[in-house]
Chain A
């Protein structure tokens, strides 16, 4: 039996679990800087802030940079330091370019002559904070925080604050989508559960077909439907309901519509299976005792269906917080969620530490949801069919 399981377990451990662990480690990994600047990071540990570092630190930097000159590592280092000190990329590449060929008499004067930033104790303070093998830099950045030159944690300036908003937006959209799915899905599932078997089959088909359709196709379809000259706006104008087209896509409205559409089956299907299991005699019994339909609904039906609601809501919420493709296609720049920024910092900005930090927070959010709601409803219910 073990031999049968082993290939899959090895496969998943090696190609799934290990990559995720390594990915999370990147959020604190800082090997780049000590590797690129071995002498400087060693020398700077002795230095205490307040004034400029002594000559040996400058000399160490000169020899480190001289060793990096002409290699891709210099550009890499420049970029890495630029995360911590905006504008530092230019400083490092310029210094690398203009560095004298042999060790100057006063490395300090030589560096300051190349770029005045080397005369700024604050820049050195940041450099010292960044010299360890691990760093909290990315995790702090992902919370719009940073360390000031003295080492205490402070807010980043408003021009760069973006991530706290991002979590708020991701949560707002995900909760909004979940509530909409409950509100829309509940009556549909209830009607399905009470329909004749033949009708229920047709209804099920109508839900399963979009469920099976590629998310990409559905998101694209919404762009086509919702654009200014799309079917929805044209129909509303033709009906005389509006005069000018409504802005329905490339904004928050479009994100809500498309995400609800994509995730609604995840709500309806578990609800439907719970509702189908409720025997009608239960309800008839309550009604025969004289309870009004409204009372029957609130005291009998709703409590019995709550596990379905919770299971559906968990599935919808957990999928929603990780969404990337749909908001990218139907949202504007201000509607993008965590997933988009993970992709952005991986593919378009190459700030992998930050991508990993964002990924870590997203994973925490997902895990917490599973734990809380999973405990509430039982893990075995958390499947669609």
Chain B
């Protein structure tokens, strides 16, 4: 008898927990989805219900030089940042992996530090520093600052894929007469490729979504998409910002989705590898 009541209590607790979880998921998802319908409004105001449907804001986004310029800037800056951060970060991760010295931990901590410090401090400190170097309001300035923020992601993801990797393999290749570059290309790279790719995607999204550094370092010519949306939210309010937001959303979710797939695949591979050894 007592047992029966306990189960019914348990059942209702479980049901309650599920409803609660469902409600919380709605809370998490709805704000992300709410910009979608608004970007197709035929009205001028960001309110529901929509007076009608229209593609005018997408047309504005893809034809107005302010927005096309912002999109081009974001893509370009993102690509250069990705190349820089991936090169630097992969090298550092391989170096760290092969290094058993005690200070290697300190190097790792230094490289991921930019993630641990509030971004507003990083941005303001970089602004003062770059102002003295004449790098404020230049593409180089934003690229360098974004690379600092993107680098930790590459280091962390590549390090993670290197975890099961035996450095003796490279030594073996070298002893067989392979140049370091050949050894890297034929031995190391195939193994760490998933980590490098997700690190690169992470680096791109970091730059592509970044706002605070862009607020401080960009002049109107280097305006990135987030920076232009930010300005649009406060200064030049028009539904075009929702169209821009949808573009931003689609790009980051798509890239992160690819990364998640990669991560799962490499996890499966790792598990499979673990079982055979």
In the complex, chain A residues whose CB is within 8 Å of the CB of B6:
292-293
Contact with A along B10-38 (1 / 0, CB 8 A): 10010001101100110111111011001
Contact B110 A9 (CB under 8 A): yes
In the complex, chain B residues whose CB is within 8 Å of the CB of A12:
110-111, 113-114, 148, 151
Contact A209 B151 (CB under 8 A): no
In the complex, chain A residues whose CB is within 8 Å of the CB of B89:
8
Contact B27 A261 (CB under 8 A): yes
Q: Answer yes or no: A45 CB below 8 A from chain B CBs.
A: no
In the complex, chain A residues whose CB is within 8 Å of the CB of B17:
187, 190-191
Contact A322 B118 (CB under 8 A): yes
A78 → chain B, closest Cβ, in Å?
21
Contact A220 B145 (CB under 8 A): no
In the complex, chain A residues whose CB is within 8 Å of the CB of B216:
343, 346-347
Q: Answer yes or no: A17 CB below 8 A from chain B CBs.
A: yes
Tell which of B99, B113, B117 touches A1, judged by Cβ atoms closer than 8 Å.
Answer: B99
Contact B226 A214 (CB under 8 A): yes
In the complex, chain B residues whose CB is within 8 Å of the CB of A319:
118
Who on chain A is nearest to B246 by CB? A217
Q: In the complex the two chains form, what is the Cα distance from A70 to B97 in whole Å?
A: 59
Contact A221 B32 (CB under 8 A): yes
B122 → chain A, closest Cβ, in Å?
7
- Segment at the interface with B among A50-58, A82-90, A159-167, A362-370: A362-370
B159 → chain A, closest Cβ, in Å?
12
Contact B29 A209 (CB under 8 A): yes
Q: Answer yes or no: A113 CB below 8 A from chain B CBs.
A: no
Those of A289-328 within 8 Å (CB) of chain B: 292-293, 318-319, 321-325
- Segment at the interface with A among B59-67, B189-197, B204-212, B268-276: B204-212
Given contacts A4-B91, A4-B92, A187-B20, contact A355 B124 (CB under 8 A): yes
Contact B21 A192 (CB under 8 A): yes
Tell which of A3, A261, A362 touches B31, judged by Cβ atoms closer than 8 Å.
Answer: A261
Tell which of A2, A5, A11, A323 touches B151, judged by Cβ atoms closer than 8 Å.
Answer: A11
In the complex, chain B residues whose CB is within 8 Å of the CB of A192:
21
With a 10 A CB-CB cut-off, give which of B6, B99, B113, B212 has the most chain A CB atoms: B212
In the complex, chain B residues whose CB is within 8 Å of the CB of A19:
122, 125-126, 128-130
Q: Answer yes or no: A176 CB below 8 A from chain B CBs.
A: no
Q: In the complex the two chains form, what is the Cα distance from A224 to B38 in whole Å?
A: 9
Q: In the complex the two chains form, what is the Cα distance from A23 to B129 in whole Å?
A: 8
Contact with A along B96-139 (1 / 0, CB 8 A): 10110000000100110110111111101111111000000000
Tell which of B21, B27, B46, B252 touches A213, judged by Cβ atoms closer than 8 Å.
Answer: B252
Those of B61-104 within 8 Å (CB) of chain A: 88-89, 91-92, 94-96, 98-99
Contact A318 B116 (CB under 8 A): yes
Chain A residues within 8 Å of chain B by Cβ, number: 77
Would you call the interface of chain A mostly helix, strand, loop, or mixed? helix
Q: Answer yes or no: B147 CB below 8 A from chain A CBs.
A: yes
Contact A342 B95 (CB under 8 A): no
Q: Answer yes or no: A109 CB below 8 A from chain B CBs.
A: no
Contact B148 A208 (CB under 8 A): no
Contact B124 A359 (CB under 8 A): yes
Q: Answer yes or no: B248 CB below 8 A from chain A CBs.
A: yes
Contact A217 B125 (CB under 8 A): no
Q: In the complex the two chains form, what is the Cα distance from A187 to B144 in whole Å?
A: 41
Q: Answer yes or no: B241 CB below 8 A from chain A CBs.
A: yes
B215 → chain A, closest Cβ, in Å?
7
A347 → chain B, closest Cβ, in Å?
7
With a 10 A CB-CB cut-off, give which of B24, B120, B215 has the most chain A CB atoms: B120
- Segment at the interface with B among A59-67, A92-100, A121-129, A227-235: A227-235
Q: Answer yes or no: B55 CB below 8 A from chain A CBs.
A: no
Contact A218 B32 (CB under 8 A): yes
Contact A188 B21 (CB under 8 A): yes
Contact B211 A325 (CB under 8 A): yes
Tell which of A5, A184, A220 touches B35, judged by Cβ atoms closer than 8 Å.
Answer: A220
Q: Answer yes or no: B162 CB below 8 A from chain A CBs.
A: no
Q: Answer yes or no: B165 CB below 8 A from chain A CBs.
A: no
Q: Answer yes or no: A37 CB below 8 A from chain B CBs.
A: no
In the complex, chain A residues whose CB is within 8 Å of the CB of B46:
224
B161 → chain A, closest Cβ, in Å?
14
Q: Answer yes or no: B182 CB below 8 A from chain A CBs.
A: no
B132 → chain A, closest Cβ, in Å?
9
Contact A8 B92 (CB under 8 A): yes
Sample 30 A-B pairs with CB under 8 A, ordered by A number. A1-B96, A4-B92, A8-B89, A9-B110, A11-B147, A12-B110, A13-B110, A17-B110, A17-B113, A187-B20, A188-B20, A188-B21, A191-B21, A206-B25, A208-B260, A210-B28, A214-B249, A214-B252, A216-B211, A216-B226, A216-B229, A216-B230, A224-B35, A224-B47, A293-B9, A342-B120, A342-B124, A359-B121, A359-B125, A366-B116
Additional pairs, 20, CB under 8 Å, beyond known A217-B248, A229-B47: A1-B95, A7-B92, A8-B151, A18-B129, A19-B125, A20-B125, A23-B129, A190-B17, A212-B205, A212-B253, A216-B230, A217-B35, A223-B233, A225-B34, A292-B6, A321-B118, A346-B216, A359-B124, A362-B118, A363-B118
**Chain B residues packing against A (C-beta within 8 Å):** 6, 9-10, 13, 17-18, 20-21, 24-25, 27-32, 34-35, 38, 46-48, 88-89, 91-92, 94-96, 98-99, 107, 110-111, 113-114, 116-122, 124-130, 144-145, 147-148, 151, 155-156, 205, 209, 211-212, 215-216, 226, 229-230, 233-234, 241, 245, 248-249, 252-253, 256, 260, 263
